[in-house]
Amino acid sequence: MLESHARFRAKESLIKSTKVVFIFTAFGTKMGIYSPFVKALHRRGYSAIIYDYPVSIVMDAQLDEWHKFYDDVLADAKSRIDA
């Protein structure tokens, strides 16, 4: 399921597993291109959560925006782990 947040998008691809790989894409790429990689992870017993962020995060290169992005993604990842 694709979720849009203020500073990023996230997509879960879960299987029954306690092992999770967090994938960070770049610049608004299409998350579908990661499907072969996610399928390979599934075959090896891993779930995957893909995070994608907009190009503006890199192009603006403002440290305070990076901190906000980092804090938001970290909070999201922790909430998924704790769920």
- pLDDT, tens digit (0-9, with 9 covering 90-100), for 65-78: 778 888 888 898 88
Q: Which two tokens stand for residue 56?
A: 């503006």
Listed as ranges, residues in the chain with pLDDT below 70 are: 1, 6, 27-28, 58, 60-61
Order of strands across the sheet with 9-13?
2-4, 9-13, 47-52, 20-24
Q: Is 38 exposed, middle or buried (0-12, 13-18, 19+ CB in 10 A)?
A: buried
Is 0.85 topped by the overall pTM? no
**Structural domain spans, the chain:** 2-82
- List phi, psi (to 5°) of 51: -110, 135
Residue reference for tokens 């970290």: 74
